[in-house]
């Protein structure tokens, strides 16, 4: 029954025979009964809008890169224009690992493909970190069932997962680490750094970014035939400089030609300089693999299988003022399809052959001293379909300079003790 007023004495607290408080409670219940459903619908609607992000504005998610506890992300970014992933990875495991592949995707069931493989596996010792992707591996997103590179507007949010395949070097077990990735696309790049100091504990060492690398002291490197060198420059290290500062990088495992104990320095990047190194006792001293516009100068290579090798498709490089001596293999070799290289002012003494080239074009071999134990000292291996067109001038060759038919090489002012293919030789050693 609704509360009704009646006349009572002043100061009385009675309304229609009941206390005022009872009437107020009844009014509140009537209000809730009438408007309760509307209030409930309003609260549900506000909650939905809040959780859907309507009131949050643009995404403000802090960058996240979470890997299992034995691996961690030191630095990470995605370039908004290229979709390239930059990842500096730390190894917290008790043993060294070798990273072989990386995939970044929002696909729930990813499959590694050949583009995910690292050109050169990157070794990370326990407690250390290294750049394993310098924007040369990409993050992908699925659009209408097809994977596309995750480019987008500056500041756009990318969410996905990162998969890292690696080998535990102690056990030889291959594992795949899976982590979560959430970050904004940005104008990120890997910049020149250094100087990076290479110590004994860091060998074998992999350089992945441009910069100056120096040896802390003379270092001893022990390697198996696993494709690694004591120091490796990956394709992302374009423009790097290694200055050994007269220190030795050596081993004692290679004393015969063809030994398989790794190389001193392997270069897979362009425009790299290797200088002032003393390299001894490894399979190959310095090797360029598809490296262009690089410089090798003022190095000494002794007791190695072959001193300096341009393995294949390495062009426009300069090899100057190096010494390759007491080696069971070649002093300097230039591999197939390597063009327009300059080899000057080098000394190759007591080697199998001083200089050898195979199917390489337009190289200049000038003002070198070659003293080999095998004839010919300089061997130019061209043919009619791939003539070398080399220029061989002002060299000293203790035996002879030889070439094959169709070579089209020319030369002058060389000193040798046999005519070979007649590169303007005078005779006598």
Average pLDDT over the chain reads: 78
Any domain includes 53: no
Any domain includes 42: no
Encode burial over 336-354: b for 16+ CB neighbours within 10 A, e otherwise: bebbebebbebbbbebbbb
Q: How many angstroms separate the CA atoms of 195 and 131, rounded?
A: 15
Q: How many angstroms separate the CA atoms of 99 and 90, rounded?
A: 11
Q: Is the pLDDT of residue 102 over 50?
A: yes
Q: How many angstroms separate the CA atoms of 136 and 149, rounded?
A: 12
Question: What's the domain range around 290?
Answer: 193-426
From 64-78, 342-356, 370-384, the region with the lowest mean pLDDT: 370-384
Any domain includes 1: no
From 173-187, 275-289, 323-337, 409-423, the region with the lowest mean pLDDT: 409-423
**Can you give the pLDDT at residue 134?**
80
Q: Are residues 173 and 72 in the same domain?
A: yes
- Structure-model confidence comparison of residues 42 and 246, the more confident one: 246
For the stretch 196-243, pLDDT in tens is 889 888 888 989 888 889 988 999 887 654 567 899 999 889 889 999
For the stretch 334-345, pLDDT in tens is 988 888 999 999
Helix extents (H) in 148-201: none
Q: Is the pLDDT of residue 79 over 80?
A: yes
Distances, alpha carbon 317 to alpha carbons 41, 58, 236, 341, 380, in Å = 75, 50, 18, 5, 18
CATH for 362: 2.160.20.10
Burial of 413 (0-12, 13-18, 19+ CB in 10 A): middle
**Can you give the pLDDT at residue 406?**
47
Number of domains in the chain: 2
User: DSSP states of 207-260 as a string?
Assistant: E-SSEEEEESS-EE----SSS-EEEEE-GGGTT-EEE-TT-EEE-SS--STT--
Nearest to 296 by CA among 326, 252, 351, 334: 334
Q: Are residues 272 and 413 in the same domain?
A: yes
Q: How many angstroms separate the CA atoms of 117 and 3, rounded?
A: 83
Q: Are residues 105 and 125 in the same domain?
A: yes
- Structure-model confidence comparison of residues 184 and 400, the more confident one: 184
Pick from 184, 207, 225: which residue ends a domain? 184
**Can you give the pLDDT at residue 374?**
66
Tell me if 182 sits within 8 A of 61, measured CB to CB.
Answer: yes
**Can you give the pLDDT at residue 330?**
87
Q: Are residues 86 and 69 in the same domain?
A: yes
Average pLDDT over residues 289-313: 91
Q: Are residues 202 and 71 in the same domain?
A: no
Any domain includes 343: yes
Q: Are residues 159 and 207 in the same domain?
A: no
Q: Are residues 159 and 266 in the same domain?
A: no
Helix extents (H) in 160-302: none
Q: Is the pLDDT of residue 372 over 70?
A: yes
**Can you give the pLDDT at residue 15?**
47
Q: Are residues 197 and 169 in the same domain?
A: no
Strand segments (E) across 359-422: 364-366, 369-372, 378-381, 391-393, 396-397, 401-403, 410-412, 414-415
Pick from 166, 184, 202: which residue ends a domain? 184
**Can you give the pLDDT at residue 12?**
45
Average pLDDT over residues 96-118: 89
Pick from 155, 184, 213: which residue ends a domain? 184
Q: Is the pLDDT of residue 415 over 60?
A: yes
Q: Are residues 243 and 294 in the same domain?
A: yes
Is the entire prediction scored with pTM above 0.85? Answer: no
Q: How confident is the model at residue 46 (pLDDT cuts 50, 70, 90)?
A: low
Q: Is the pLDDT of residue 272 over 90?
A: yes
Tell me if 233 sits within 8 A of 199, measured CB to CB.
Answer: no
Any domain includes 2: no
Q: How many angstroms separate the CA atoms of 383 and 403, rounded?
A: 9
Any domain includes 40: no
Q: Are residues 401 and 283 in the same domain?
A: yes
Q: How confident is the model at residue 35 (pLDDT cuts 50, 70, 90)?
A: low
CATH for 106: 2.60.40
Q: How many angstroms separate the CA atoms of 388 and 404, rounded?
A: 10
Q: Are residues 180 and 199 in the same domain?
A: no
Q: Which H/E stretch holds residue 37?
A: helix 20-51
Average pLDDT over residues 117-126: 81
Any domain includes 326: yes
Q: Are residues 247 and 174 in the same domain?
A: no
Q: Is the pLDDT of residue 32 over 60?
A: no
**Can you give the pLDDT at residue 23?**
54
Any domain includes 128: yes
Q: What's the angle, vertex CA 142, arms to CA 141 and CA 147, rounded to 5? A: 85
């Amino acid at each position: 029954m609704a509360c009704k007023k009646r006349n009572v004495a002043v100061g009385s607290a009675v309304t229609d025979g009941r206390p005022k408080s009872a009437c107020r409670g009844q009014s509140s219940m009537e209000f809730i009964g009438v408007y309760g459903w509307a209030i409930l619908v309003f609260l549900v609607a506000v909650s939905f809008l809040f959780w859907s992000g309507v009131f949050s504005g643009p995404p403000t998610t802090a960058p996240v890169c979470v890997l299992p506890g034995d691996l961690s992300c030191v630095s990470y970014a995605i370039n908004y224009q290229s979709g390239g992933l930059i990842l500096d990875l730390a190894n917290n495991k008790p043993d060294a690992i070798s990273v072989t592949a990386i995939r970044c995707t929002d696909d729930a069931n990813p499959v590694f493909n050949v583009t995910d493989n690292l050109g050169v596996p990157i070794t990370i010792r326990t407690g250390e970190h290294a750049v394993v992707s310098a924007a040369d591996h990409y993050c992908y997103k699925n659009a209408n069932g097809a994977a596309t590179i995750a480019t987008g507007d500056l500041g756009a949010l990318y969410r996905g997962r990162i998969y890292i395949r690696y080998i535990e070097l102690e056990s030889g077990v291959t594992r795949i680490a899976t982590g979560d990735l959430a970050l904004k696309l940005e104008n990120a790049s890997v910049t020149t750094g250094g100087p990076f100091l290479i110590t004994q504990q860091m060998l074998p060492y992999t350089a992945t970014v441009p910069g100056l690398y120096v040896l802390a002291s003379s270092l001893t490197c022990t390697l198996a035939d696993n494709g690694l060198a004591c120091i490796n420059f990956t394709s992302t290290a374009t423009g790097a400089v290694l200055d050994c500062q007269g220190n030795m990088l050596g081993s004692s495992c290679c004393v015969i030609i063809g030994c398989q104990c790794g190389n001193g320095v392997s270069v897979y990047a362009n425009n790299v300089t290797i200088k002032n190194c003393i390299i001894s006792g490894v399979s190959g001293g310095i090797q360029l693999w598809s490296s262009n516009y690089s410089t090798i100068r003022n190095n000494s290579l002794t007791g190695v299988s072959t001193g300096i090798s341009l393995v294949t498709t390495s062009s426009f490089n300069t090899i100057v003022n190096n010494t390759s001596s007491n080696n069971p293999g070649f002093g300097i070799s230039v591999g197939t399809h390597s063009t327009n290289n300059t080899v000057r002012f080098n000394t190759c003494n007591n080697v199998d052959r001083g200089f050898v080239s195979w199917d390489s074009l337009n190289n200049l071999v000038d003002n070198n001293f070659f003293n080999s134990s095998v004839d010919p000292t300089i061997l130019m291996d061209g043919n009619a379909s791939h003539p070398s067109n080399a220029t061989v001038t002002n060299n000293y060759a203790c035996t002879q300079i030889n070439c094959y038919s169709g070579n089209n090489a020319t030369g002058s002012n060389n000193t040798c003790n046999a005519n070979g293919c007649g590169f303007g030789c005078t005779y006598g050693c």
